[in-house]
């Protein structure tokens, strides 16, 4: 497929980086907190689980485990910042997904001096294989942080987090299947998986806030 064609309106790296920073470091964390606090309030007030949550948050507060939750959330945000940094450079480089790298034969002289870039095959059985592999690798890249968040949030929210894990798992499978069909189709599974992952991440930050400031937050 090669590099994307140069367009007059191709965004600059600075503009793209700014866009992804706003989306990954501001918009998504805000939505994560909206989902998390809504989940907590509905479960504690409507389902009558407040007493159980209070005991768990009191335990987290007493032994300062809230800082563990906060530390994990901070590392997740740090990774998101790196993703924004990389995604910002993608459009100006004219590199389409699923490519993650661009290779070139580096020869100072001879017939290979001006050799073209080497890109992933994007058509036929080889293209389907490459996209399917990228679906696996993308999920692998997220799995350590997702698993950590699920374990930490699950210690407090139990069955709620199990349901979110089901959402994430099914969405990730759909993401891989659709990615094999085409790059554009992957969004059908990618978007719900991101919602689930950010939802759990939001619960981790909520646990950090409640665990650190337990007595100061009456809800």
Residue 137 included in any domain: yes
Residue 111 included in any domain: no
Q: What is the pLDDT of residues 99-148, one digit of tens each?
A: 889 888 888 788 887 888 888 888 899 999 999 999 999 999 999 999 99
Mean pLDDT of the chain: 93
Q: What is the pLDDT of residues 142-184, one digit of tens each?
A: 999 999 999 999 999 999 999 999 999 999 999 999 999 999 9
User: Does pLDDT of 4 surpass 90?
Assistant: no
What confidence score (pLDDT) does residue 1 get? 55
What confidence score (pLDDT) does residue 130 get? 93
DSSP-assigned letters across all residues of 129-149 = HHHHHHHHHHHHHHHHHHHHH
Residue 101 included in any domain: no
**Interatomic CA distance for residues 98 and 29, integer angstroms:** 26
Determine phi and psi for 13, rounding to 5 degrees: -65, -40
Domain that holds residue 185: 13-94+124-216
What confidence score (pLDDT) does residue 3 get? 66
pTM of the model: 0.89
**Interatomic CA distance for residues 98 and 80, integer angstroms:** 19
**Interatomic CA distance for residues 42 and 50, integer angstroms:** 10
Residue 46 included in any domain: yes
CATH number of the domain encompassing residue 172: 1.20.120
Residue 116 included in any domain: no
**Cβ atoms of 175 and 190 closer than 8 Å:** yes
What is the tally of structural domains in the chain? 1
């Amino acid at each position: 497929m090669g590099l994307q064609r140069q367009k007059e309106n191709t965004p600059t790296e600075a503009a793209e980086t700014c866009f992804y920073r706003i989306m990954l470091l501001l918009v998504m964390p805000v939505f994560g907190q909206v989902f998390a606090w809504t989940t907590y309030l509905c479960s504690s007030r409507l389902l009558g689980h407040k007493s159980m949550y209070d005991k768990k948050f009191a335990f987290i507060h007493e032994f300062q485990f809230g800082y563990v939750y906060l530390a994990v959330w901070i590392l997740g945000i740090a990774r998101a910042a790196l993703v924004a940094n990389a995604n910002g450079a993608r459009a100006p480089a004219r590199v389409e997904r699923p490519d993650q790298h661009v290779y070139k034969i580096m020869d100072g002289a001879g017939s290979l001096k001006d050799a073209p870039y080497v890109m992933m095959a994007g058509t036929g059985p080889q293209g389907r294989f490459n996209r399917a592999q990228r679906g696996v690798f993308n999920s692998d890249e997220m799995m350590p942080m997702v698993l950590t968040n699920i374990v930490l949030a699950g210690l407090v929210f139990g069955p709620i987090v199990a349901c979110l894990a089901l959402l994430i798992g099914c969405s990730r499978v759909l993401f891989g299947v659709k990615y094999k069909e085409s790059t554009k189709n992957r969004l059908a599974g990618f978007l719900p998986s991101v919602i689930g992952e950010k939802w759990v991440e939001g619960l981790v930050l909520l646990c950090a806030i409640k665990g650190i400031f337990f007595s100061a937050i009456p809800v």
